[in-house]
Each structure stands twice: as C-alpha cells, then as structure tokens.
Amino acid sequence: MDFKRSDFPEGFLFSAATSSYQIEGHGFGGAGQTHWDTFAATPGNVVRAEHGQLACDHYHRFEEDLDLARDMGLDAYRFSTSWARVMPEGRGPVNAEGLDFYDRLVDAMLERGLKPQATLYHWELPVALADMGGWRNPDISHWFADFATVVMERIGDRVFSVAPINEPWCVGWLSHFEGHHAPGLRDIRATAHAMHHVLTSHGRAIQAMRALGVKNLGAVCNFEYAAPADTTPAAAKAAQLYDGIYNRFFLGGIFNGAYPDDVMEGLAPHMPSGWENDFELIGQPLDWVGLNYYTRKLIGANEGPWPGYDYVDGPLPKTQMGWEIYPDGLHHFLTWVDQTYTKGLPLYVTENGMSNADLIGRDDVERIDYLNQHIAAAQRAIGDGVPLAGYTFWSLLDNYEWSLGYEKRFGLVHVDFETLERRPKASYHALARALGR
Ligand code: IFM
C-alpha cells in the first residue's frame, strides 16, 4: 500500500465491515424468515436465485473470521445484528440463541482487541413485518426501537459505536422505487413512506438507546457523486435531483429538520400524513456520522415523469460491479458533509472497497490500487481539516452481494462457496503490512 498507519492521526481506527445476512447463514440458530429469503425465492430477482441460508457460515466460523480481522492489524470490526435472528417474528418473543450469538460475537471481538462497531439493521426485515407493510407502515419506528432495546440491553455495554440503519437510500429508494432490493417495489407512494419511516425509525432507535445509556451513536449513509452526462441544462438539473434524492435527503432530515425542495417536488404528494411534524424525532443529536462511498454516476435527463433521469454509461475504469472508480468523490463528500451538515462531528468512512473477479492466484492489484486511491483522497480531506476518525474496508470476506448473488467479490479474504475455506488475498496482506504496529 502507499500509506502506513503512522501517516494517520493518533487513535485513527482502521476496520473491516460485514453484515449479518451477507455472511452469517440465516438457516441456523432459530432465525426467522426475512424478506430477502422470499425476494430471492421469486424468479428473476436474484442471480441464480441465490440466498443467505448458508452464506459464509460465519454463524459457526466467527472465531476464525475474527482471527483474520485481528491478524490483519485492524482496530475495529463493523458488524450488524439481524432483526430476524433476534426476533423471528419482528416483534414479541426473543430468540435466546440469536441474542446469545451476538453476545458471544462481541466478546470474541473484545478478546481480540477489536472494537465492536455495531449496525442494528442491514436489510434483513422479518417477513411478519413485511406482511404488515414493512417500511411503509408508520408503526415500524416503534417495532424498530423495541428491537434496538432488546439488542442493546444485551450488548450495549460493550459496543464501541452503534448506527441504527445501514444506507437509508438503499432501504428507501433502491428497494421501493427501483425495485432492485427486497421488497422489490416500484411505487412512488411506497418510496415516500419508506424514506420517511427509515428516518423516524432511526430517530426512535437513537432515543431508545440513549435512554439505555448506550454511548457513541451515529448514522451511516451512502453517497454517490452525481455528474451530468452532458452539457445541457436538463442534464445538470437531472444530476442535481439525483444528488438530492441520494445525498441530501437523509442528512437534510437529520441535521436540517427538512427535506430538500427539489426532492419534495416529486415526493410531497405521496408522503405519509403528518410527516412535517416528525423532524424533532428524526433530528436526535448524534455523536458521529459514517459515509459509505464507492462510485460516481453519470446522469442524463429523460422526458418521462419525475424524477426524469437516466443512468448513462461513464468513461472511467470500472470495478466488477460496473461502477466507475472516482476517488475524488470521497474527498468531495467528506469535506461537503463536514461543512454542510455535521460541522465538526467525527466522521468515519464506514464502507469503501471494490469487487474484483475471482481469479485465484492473481495478485489483486486492482483492489490494492482502488484502496490506495481512496485512502489518499481521505488523507487529503484530513489535510483540509475534516475530522475523519476512521476508515472501514468493505468487506472482510467475499459474501452475498444481494441481488447479484455470490459472484461479486468484495472480500479482502477469498471465500470458496463450495468448501467455505477462507484465503486472504494479496490486498489483505498489503493492508496487514501497512497497518503493522
Ligand atoms: O454489499 C453492500 C453492502 O451490503 C452495503 N454497501 C454496499 C456494499 C457493496 O454493494
């Protein structure tokens, strides 16, 4: 790597992330069915109809996986807790085995000197809640706060940090407007409701955790740099709207007590009643904000109904996902979020990494290069005064890449999905050398 640990401020945290449904294996330990199980079982939604019943079998192999995280020289490990594992029906009875699993997982991190960075929800909604409308139902904020309470009463004394919901844009827009993720809806009313309820749920969970005395509470949002596909005013407006929906909606709700005007031009007629009165709940004070960043998108205008934009193929080098590699976007978002919203709160890069094809025996140079470029962008942001406190690599392991199944490989560690053998890649070894103490 082009950097070493000592290039970063004292106490800067390096970590790697995973999420429950993507690695654990939801066929084990009394976990309830999730909407990803039913989404994946519906033909056409997921490549080869792959699902998370076994995944990386982390449920049984977590000790080995945490050894890998420790041996890489990481300071922390970002993980998530599955709602359906802890509360199989989403409400009411707790699955003791599921809660025990997270208890043991947190202790196993601490034994290895890894700070536990928890996320409560990384997309595996219990089907019983999906049956009641899932994120469209205003009651979900109460169900979610109850889940947060159950989990944090057990592990809240030992986690380093907690974020309620990973990537609100994916939960709201990608899943209810574009239909690419469970529940696979393409409906503007469902989208408006889900985007708002993700934030009321975030706020109510923060309230519940503060009441329990849990420390270091934040929010994790994803960001994509939106560039106009051509020089027309229409393309500039389309890119601006894309930016509003993706990058300004959620932080606007949390930090400004308002949603962006350009986004509300389309969503206002479809919002749940009384939404204007929820900003006090949504805007609970936070201790930090996490940014997940991977790519930029070129956006062109179309003549269709709102939002009237299209994705346009871009000219930059791309990852296995077909995502353009654009490290300047990370520098842009770190400085912009600090100046516009968080104003001095600690920021973390909570996800960054690339998928690279499974070519055993290759040296993984593309991933090393990708990480070098993005880490350099983060260093520039620190030099510009951004209070960046940590950097998390996505992902520790190759895993279930949602509707793209198991073939997109984001891991620093290769997983053979036949044998489940783990093999550290060249990028893992390069990072271990850079992080060595
Ligand atoms: O795998 C996902 C993860 O679940 C959320 N952030 C983006 C990653 C890569 O697509």
pLDDT tens sequence across 57-67: 999 999 999 99
Distance 277 CA to ligand 1 centre (A): 32
The vertex-142 CA angle with 207 and 211, nearest 5°, equals: 25
Distance 22 CA to ligand 1 centre (A): 9
In the predicted model, what is the mean pLDDT of residues 67-74?
98
Q: Confidence class of residue 363 from pLDDT cuts 50, 70 and 90?
A: confident
The vertex-258 CA angle with 254 and 260, nearest 5°, equals: 110
pLDDT of residue 58: 98
Helix axes 140-155, 96-111, angle to 10 degrees: 50
Could you say which DSSP state residue 90 is in? Answer: S
Query: Is the pLDDT reported for residue 84 higher than 80?
Result: yes
Neighbours of 273 (CB within 10 A): 7
Among residues 50, 351, 366, 401, the one annotated as catalytic is 351
pLDDT of residue 361: 64
pLDDT of residue 437: 62
Following CA atoms 279, 255, 249, 323 in sequence, which dihedral angle do they give, to the nearest 10 degrees? -150
Question: Measured from the CB, is residue 392 less than 6 Å from ligand 1?
Answer: no
Q: Confidence class of residue 358 from pLDDT cuts 50, 70 and 90?
A: confident
Helix axes 140-155, 188-212, angle to 10 degrees: 30
Helix (H) or strand (E) holding 264: helix 261-267
The answer to whether 66 and 112 are in contact (CB under 8 A) is: yes
Could you tell which of 119, 318, 402, 412 is best to mutate to test the pocket of ligand 1, judged by most ligand atoms within 8 Å of the CB? 402
- Cα–Cα distance, 106 to 399 (Å, whole number): 21
> Is 324 annotated in the active site?
no
- Cα–Cα distance, 332 to 311 (Å, whole number): 21
Question: Measured from the CB, is residue 19 less than 6 Å from ligand 1?
Answer: yes
Write down the mean pLDDT value for the chain: 98
Distance 401 CA to ligand 1 centre (A): 7
Question: Measured from the CB, is residue 319 less than 6 Å from ligand 1?
Answer: no
The answer to whether 411 and 398 are in contact (CB under 8 A) is: yes
Query: Is the pLDDT reported for residue 299 higher than 80?
Result: yes
Could you tell which of 34, 174, 410, 412 is best to mutate to test the pocket of ligand 1, judged by most ligand atoms within 8 Å of the CB? 410
E-state strands within 368-428: 388-394, 413-415, 422-424
Distance 394 CA to ligand 1 centre (A): 7
pLDDT of residue 362: 72
Strand partners, 392: 15
- Cα–Cα distance, 364 to 201 (Å, whole number): 39
Which of 48-52, 232-236, 358-362, 408-412 shows the lowest mean pLDDT across its residues?
358-362
- Cα–Cα distance, 149 to 147 (Å, whole number): 5
Question: Measured from the CB, is residue 80 less than 6 Å from ligand 1?
Answer: no
Cα–Cα distances in angstroms (integers) from residue 321 to residues 117, 167, 305, 315, 357, in the given order? 26, 18, 28, 15, 9
Q: Which residues contact 121 (CB under 8 A, 6 or more apart)?
A: 80, 81, 83, 144, 147, 164, 165, 166, 171
Helix (H) or strand (E) holding 235: helix 233-243
Q: Confidence class of residue 338 from pLDDT cuts 50, 70 and 90?
A: very high
Residues across the chain: 437
Question: Measured from the CB, is residue 352 less than 6 Å from ligand 1?
Answer: no
pLDDT of residue 326: 98
The answer to whether 211 and 289 are in contact (CB under 8 A) is: no
Distance 222 CA to ligand 1 centre (A): 9
The answer to whether 156 and 214 are in contact (CB under 8 A) is: yes
pTM above 0.85, yes or no: yes
pLDDT tens sequence across 113-145: 999 999 999 999 999 999 999 999 999 999 999
Cα–Cα distances in angstroms (integers) from residue 354 to residues 79, 365, 376, 406, 410, in the given order? 18, 11, 16, 14, 5
In the predicted model, what is the mean pLDDT of residues 20-37?
98
> Is 167 annotated in the active site?
yes
In the predicted model, what is the mean pLDDT of residues 321-334?
98
